[in-house]
């Protein structure tokens, strides 16, 4: 116990001495020299050296006690060279009893380090990025103890922060030292939502930066850390009970809880506080260690664990600061940077200022991507290492056409972007001119183009795009962004506003499609092993008929003498549709008995998303007034590939023979029975895929607002009969995707894609 007390007292005394040097005046080099001298004396080391990383990637000796002082600012090591390069490569301490025997040892005669054998070096980490190294050496061959390693890490963390702040060395002298990414970078990802955007980087849930690094009382600080850890765990327990979850899966929250109780993580925080750091500084130190160690892992599971610790660290910092999660203010022209987002999280931001979205993870079929497309926000995802390569306020270009992101772009890149943006503006002007032009093919077939919506703000797009109506109104969005269950009057008011805005144009309301990855903050939910195939959509409504009937009552009340279309999602059996339709009849009868206003006509339909229905269309279609093909879910179930899982979501192509044959089967069955059918998945809003749908016989497409113009231009240039003839042999292909063949067909027919 006495030894541990002395060990704690040692680094605290050392940190206090460093703080005194920081506050003293004098030349920067002189203060650096004093710091390494203090560290050497405290660590009983014969050598202490500080290396800083230049923008070129070279590591330069900035200060030393024990080596030849003439080597300062002379000795430079290339990227990965020597033991210092090995420290940066590993991102963790290097502890050697006989350094010259290590294969990475690089002898530099100007330093005079020949006599020294014992070597301990730790990285200077800032935001998980190595900006330098702190090294101690001794003549006698030995391995440094665990407490010595821990003490040097604590000192390194403090030095990294004060170097970056300019307190120890003037920022002018560090202008060529890479304290944060500053060089232009181009990252290749995947296009989630089309468009171009130039703006300033805003980090989603930016952690609170610790203002105070050194604690006044280590014992009291440890108590503060433990108290706030308990608050953190209590918050996570609450979320798992379903009180504060918006768009976050329970599996993730279970992982949060597991790591919040992780002994290794907790022990690392406690030891950092005992060494003299504040709780906030301890979180940053442990976070940097995890970033450096796990960020280079090849194993995807280990990289995911890093993300778990990152999120946990951010949440703990907010708890320590007394903050609670909520909406954030944005600067003008904001580009949001995040690992991943749920749909409700994206909706917390001001869409008038949010110009683009960049994600490390995600999928084009994820709901965050769907919301981004609905809001017209360019989005690129799967940008590896994004968060560690960009700083708050960096200029950023989002290229939603090529699926790329430019960080701190060069002037020529900005000029090219502006030229392309001008071309897109011209294209939008062309689409605007086509707004009131009917979508009729070259051979005279009328194609109805409708838009998808789910938010009140989407209604403005009806007039702007010239859409003929709303082919899919996602009613669950109102529930997801609310703090409590919307009451009957609130639901009725929204649906009334939607019908008013439509001005007599058709609106198809999809009843609540909740469950899976769409969880309400005020409803208790059970964890499911496979939520996409679990208790969701119409299944939830049928099991909780009061919830579904309340919504149906609001829809019937809102119609008031107007035509009403109601559609049930994820119907898997004929019996499910029969039961759901009976609830509509009950609510309509309830309104009639009380003399309430009712719709002039009421049409009830089903979404075809479950493959089982494809082989029972002969029984389903006569019971429906219309159907809509939800290709997003239909394709993920057809190919057994979770659309939200980046590792499998792109393994199939909707323009492949199996998918095209399924779609043709549905279309043919609807034509045979005279059942109106539309396609309302994401593919309806992409010109090439929409061309394929028209060639399969579909004449009603519902899409994100941004897709109306491009698809209408495509329709106006298409000879449908020729497209049908060209598509027929492709359906018989024995290969995989026929995307290239369909594009070749479209080009041959001079279709404007």
What is the separation of C-alpha 384 from the centre of its chain, rounded to a whole number of angstroms? 12
Q: Is 486 helix (H, G, I), strand (E, B) or coil?
A: coil
Distance from C-alpha of 307 to C-alpha of 310, rounded to nearest angstrom: 5
- What is the helix (H) or strand (E) element at residue 406, kind and residue range? strand 404-407
Distance from C-alpha of 542 to C-alpha of 577, rounded to nearest angstrom: 10
Distance from C-alpha of 345 to C-alpha of 325, rounded to nearest angstrom: 11
DSSP assignment letter at 91: T
What do you get for the CA distance between the two ends of the chain, in Å?
75
Q: Is 440 helix (H, G, I), strand (E, B) or coil?
A: strand
Distance from C-alpha of 480 to C-alpha of 439, rounded to nearest angstrom: 34
Nearest to 259 by CA among 321, 304, 297: 304
Q: CA distances (Å), 103 to each of 61, 116, 296, 669, in order?
A: 21, 16, 21, 71
According to DSSP, the β-strands at 507-510 and 448-453 are unpaired
Q: What contacts 647, CB < 8 A, 6 or more positions away?
A: 300
Please state whether 85 falls in left (phi above 0), alpha (psi between -120 and 50) or beta: alpha
| Cβ atoms within 10 Å, residue 646 | 19
Distance from C-alpha of 424 to C-alpha of 463, rounded to nearest angstrom: 20
HEC profile for 588-645?
HHHHHHCCCCCCCEEEEEEEECCHHHHHHHHHHHHHCCEEEECHHHHHHHHCCCCCCC
Distance from C-alpha of 308 to C-alpha of 707, rounded to nearest angstrom: 36
According to DSSP, the β-strands at 601-608 and 563-568 are parallel
- String of DSSP letters for 20-85: HHHHS-S-HHHHHHHHHHHHHHHTT-SEEEEEEEBTTS-EEEEEEESS-GGGTTT-EE-TT-HHHH
Tokens of 263: 């002994």
Distance from C-alpha of 491 to C-alpha of 280, rounded to nearest angstrom: 44
- String of DSSP letters for 218-277: HHHHHHHHHHHHHHHHHHHHHHHTTSS-SS--HHHHHHHHHHHT-HHHHHHHHHHHHTTB
Catalytic site includes residue 182: no
Q: CA distances (Å), 430 to each of 193, 329, 383, 433, 646, in order?
A: 20, 34, 32, 5, 35
Catalytic site includes residue 680: yes
Please state whether 170 falls in left (phi above 0), alpha (psi between -120 and 50) or beta: beta
According to DSSP, the β-strands at 448-453 and 700-703 are parallel
Nearest to 360 by CA among 368, 351, 371: 368
- String of DSSP letters for 346-401: HHTS-TTTEEEEEESS--TTSHHHHHHHHHT--EEE--TTHHHH--TT-EEEEETT
- String of DSSP letters for 160-227: HHHHHHTSSS-GGGGTTB-SS--S-EEEE-EEEE--EEEEEEEETTPPPPPS--B-S-HHHHHHHHHH
Q: CA distances (Å), 128 to each of 184, 232, 273, 278, 573, in order?
A: 19, 23, 19, 18, 52
What is the separation of C-alpha 376 from the centre of its chain, rounded to a whole number of angstroms? 17
Phi/psi for 709 (5° steps) reads -60, -55
Q: Which of 367, 379, 565, 670 is catalytic?
A: 367
The residues that are catalytic are 367, 680
């Amino acid at each position: 116990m006495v030894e541990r007390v002395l060990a704690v007292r040692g680094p605290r005394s050392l940190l206090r001495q460093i703080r005194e040097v920081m506050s003293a005046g004098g030349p920067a080099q002189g203060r650096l020299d004093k710091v390494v001298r203090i560290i050497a004396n405290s660590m009983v080391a014969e050598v202490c050296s500080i290396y800083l990383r230049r923008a070129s990637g070279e590591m330069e000796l900035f200060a030393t006690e024990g080596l030849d002082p003439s080597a300062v600012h002379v000795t430079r090591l290339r990227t990965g060279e020597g033991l210092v390069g090995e420290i940066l490569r590993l991102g963790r301490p290097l502890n050697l009893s006989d350094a010259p025997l290590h294969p990475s040892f690089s002898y530099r005669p100007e330093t005079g380090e020949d006599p020294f054998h014992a070597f301990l070096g730790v990285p200077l980490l800032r935001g998980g990025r190595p900006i330098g190294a702190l090294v101690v050496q001794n003549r006698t061959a030995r391995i440094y103890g665990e407490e010595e390693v821990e003490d040097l890490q604590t000192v390194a963390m403090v030095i990294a922060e004060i170097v970056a702040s300019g307190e120890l060395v003037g920022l002018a002298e560090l202008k060529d030292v890479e304290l944060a990414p500053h060089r232009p970078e181009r990252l290749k990802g995947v296009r989630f939502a089309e468009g171009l955007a130039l703006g300033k980087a805003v980090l989603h849930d930016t952690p609170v930066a610790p203002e105070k690094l050194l604690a006044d009382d280590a014992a009291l600080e440890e108590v503060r850390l433990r108290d706030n850890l308990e608050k953190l765990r209590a918050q996570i327990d609450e979320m798992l009970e379903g009180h504060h979850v918006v768009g976050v899966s329970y599996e993730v929250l279970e992982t949060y809880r597991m790591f919040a109780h992780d002994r290794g993580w907790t022990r690392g925080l406690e030891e950092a506080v005992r060494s003299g750091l504040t709780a906030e500084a301890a979180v940053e130190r442990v976070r940097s260690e995890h970033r450096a160690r796990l960020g280079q892992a090849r194993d995807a599971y280990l990289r995911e664990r890093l993300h778990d610790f990152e999120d946990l660290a951010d949440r703990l910092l907010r708890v320590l600061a007394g903050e609670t999660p909520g909406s954030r203010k944005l600067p003008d022209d904001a580009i949001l940077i995040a690992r991943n987002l749920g749909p409700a999280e994206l909706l917390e931001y001001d869409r008038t200022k949010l110009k683009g979205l960049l994600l490390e993870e995600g999928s084009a079929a994820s709901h965050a991507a769907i919301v981004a497309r609905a809001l017209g926000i360019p989005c690129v995802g799967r940008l590896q290492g994004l968060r560690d390569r960009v700083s708050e306020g960096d200029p950023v270009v989002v290229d939603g056409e090529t699926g790329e992101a430019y960080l701190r772009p060069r002037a020529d890149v900005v000029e090219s972007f502006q030229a392309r943006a001008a071309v897109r503006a011209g294209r939008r002007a062309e689409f605007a001119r086509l707004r009131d032009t009917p979508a009729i093919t070259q051979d005279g077939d009328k194609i109805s183009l409708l838009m998808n919506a789910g938010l009140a703000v989407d209604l403005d797009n009806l007039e702007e795009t010239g859409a003929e109506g709303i082919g899919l109104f996602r009613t669950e969005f109102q529930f997801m962004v609310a703090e409590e269950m919307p009451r009957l009057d609130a639901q009725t008011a929204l649906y009334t506003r939607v019908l008013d805005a439509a001005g007599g144009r058709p609106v198809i309301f999809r009843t609540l499609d909740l469950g899976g990855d769409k969880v309400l903050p005020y409803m208790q939910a059970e964890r499911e092993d496979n939520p996409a195939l679990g208790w969701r959509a119409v299944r939830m409504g049928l099991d909780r008929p009061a919830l579904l009937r309340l919504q149906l009552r609001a829809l019937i009340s809102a119609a008031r003498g107007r035509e009403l279309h109601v559609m049930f999602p994820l119907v898997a059996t004929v019996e499910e549709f029969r039961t759901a339709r009976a609830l509509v009849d009950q609510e309509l009868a309830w309104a009639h008995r009380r003399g309430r206003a009712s719709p002039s006509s009421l049409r009830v339909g089903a979404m075809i998303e479950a493959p089982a229905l494809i082989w029972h269309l002969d029984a389903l279609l006569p019971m429906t007034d219309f159907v809509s093909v939800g290709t997003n879910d239909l394709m993920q179930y057809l190919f057994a590939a979770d659309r939200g899982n980046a590792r499998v979501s792109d393994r199939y192509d909707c323009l492949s023979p199996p998918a095209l044959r399924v779609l043709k089967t549905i279309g043919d069955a609807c034509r045979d029975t005279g059942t109106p059918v539309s396609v309302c998945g994401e593919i309806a809003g992409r010109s090439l895929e929409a061309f394929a749908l028209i060639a399969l016989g579909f004449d009603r497409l519902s899409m994100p607002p941004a897709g109306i113009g491009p698809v209408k231009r495509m329709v106006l240039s298409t000879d449908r009969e020729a497209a049908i003839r060209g598509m027929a042999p492709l359906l018989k292909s024995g290969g995989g995707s026929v995307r290239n063949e369909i594009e070749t067909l479209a080009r041959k027919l001079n279709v404007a894609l």
